[in-house]
Amino acid sequence: MTTENLFELKNVAKLFTKGKETISIFEGLNMHIKKGDFMAIMGPSGSGKTTLLNLLGGVDQPSSGEISFDGQRIDNLSESQLAKWRANNIGFIFQFYNLMPMLNAAKNVELPLLLTNLSSSERKKQVATALELVGLSDRAKHMPSEMSGGQQQRVAIARAVVSDPTFLLCDEPTGDLDRQTADEILEMLQLLNSKFGKTIVMVTHDPSAAKYATHTVHLNKGKFVKAEELLV
């Protein structure tokens, strides 16, 4: 196993059972993600992009096959081991920001740090750093409802990086934003990748968003395909 691969998926299958019906999303899926990658995943709705992110993020588990992260198998971890693993290694960024509405920006950003042994003052310091990184130091005390979509997504990015994970997962992070705001967010992700060495996988529908990534893969009906094949 080469250590430069952060993720390695071998022969991964994912089935969903709905009542009597069984739907196969992936079958024999192989994939690897290099350290320092900024990978964009594109593909039509229902092609399995979110399901793939869930598998990478340890939120869901494959029906069969192996998933390794940094040389360690994660497909056979228990629910509680996975939770700890997520807290230590993954930052999540969602389409609809998913901030806690009753917490202000700073308290939202602090959430992942509640899972660490940091003291209250150390947590505050790290929150301030993360908010500064996304340019929202002056909004620390604002509630999500008092912020624009772009600002909320920047709070979400601060929350994703506050505990300094190596890997960021973004599911359509600009899907709910206008062009200009989307570009700001994408520039920020690009910066996190190039300057802070974060490995990023981003699902997007937007071809111009994919341009910010170092490379793009296309998913169709649970299989990686060439871009041209999708257009047909």
Partner 1 sequence: MKDFYLIYKNLTRKKMRLFLTTFAIFIAFLIFGAIMTLRSALNSGIEMSADNRLVVMHKISFTNPLPYAYVNKVKAMDGVKDVTHANWFGGYFQEPTNQVVTMAVDPESYLSVYPELVVEPEQLENWTKDQSGILIGERIAKANNWQIGDRIPLSSNIFSQKTGGQTWDFTVDGIFKGNDAKVDTGYALIHYKYFNETQAWGGDSIGWLILTTTDPALNEQVSKAIDENFANSNSETKTSTEQAFNKAFIDQIGNIGLIIFGVVFMAFFTILIVVGNTMVLAIRERTNEIAVLKTLGFESSRIFKMVLVESCLLAFLGGLFGIGGAYLIVQGAAKEMARFLPNLILDEAIFGQALIYMLVLGLITGIAPAISALRLNIVTAFSRG
Ligand X SMILES: Nc1ncnc2c1ncn2[C@@H]1O[C@H](COP(=O)(O)OP(=O)(O)O)[C@@H](O)[C@H]1O
Residue ranges in contact with ligand X by CB under 6 A: 16, 18, 23, 25, 43, 45-51
In contact, 174 and 209? CB cutoff 8 Å? yes
Work out how close the CB of 54 gets to ligand X at its nearest, in angstroms, rounded to a whole number: 7
Beta pairing, strands 64-69 & 215-220: unpaired
By residue count, the chain amounts to 232
| The one among 47, 50, 89, 151 contacting Mg ion by CB under 5 A | 50
| The one among 114, 132, 138, 215 contacting partner 1 by CB under 8 A | 114
Which of 156, 170, 181, 153 is CA-nearest to residue 38? 170
| The one among 100, 122, 146, 196 contacting partner 1 by CB under 8 A | 100
- Bridge partners for 93 per DSSP: 170
Residues from 47 through 66 that contact partner 1 (CB under 8 A): 50, 54, 57, 59-60
| The one among 2, 45, 80, 180 contacting partner 1 by CB under 8 A | 80
Residue 32 CA to residue 121 CA, distance in Å, equals 39
- In the chain, % helix, strand, coil (3-state, to 5) comes to 40, 30, 35
Residues from 162 through 191 that contact partner 1 (CB under 8 A): none
Residue 96 CA to residue 107 CA, distance in Å, equals 18
Which of 73, 227, 172, 225 is CA-nearest to residue 65? 73
Task: Identify what 3 binds: ligand X, partner 1, Mg ion, none; CB under 5 to 8 Å per kind.
Answer: none
In contact, 36 and 212? CB cutoff 8 Å? no
Task: Identify what 25 binds: partner 1, Mg ion, ligand X, none; CB under 5 to 8 Å per kind.
Answer: ligand X
Task: Identify what 230 binds: partner 1, Mg ion, ligand X, none; CB under 5 to 8 Å per kind.
Answer: none
Secondary structure class of 169 (helix, strand, coil): strand
Contact segment (CB under 5 A) with Mg ion among 32-40, 49-57, 129-137, 139-147 equals 49-57
Interface residues with Mg ion (CB under 5 A)? 50
Residues that bind partner 1 (CB under 8 A): 50, 54, 57, 59-60, 79-80, 83-88, 92, 94, 98, 100-103, 107, 111-112, 114-115, 159
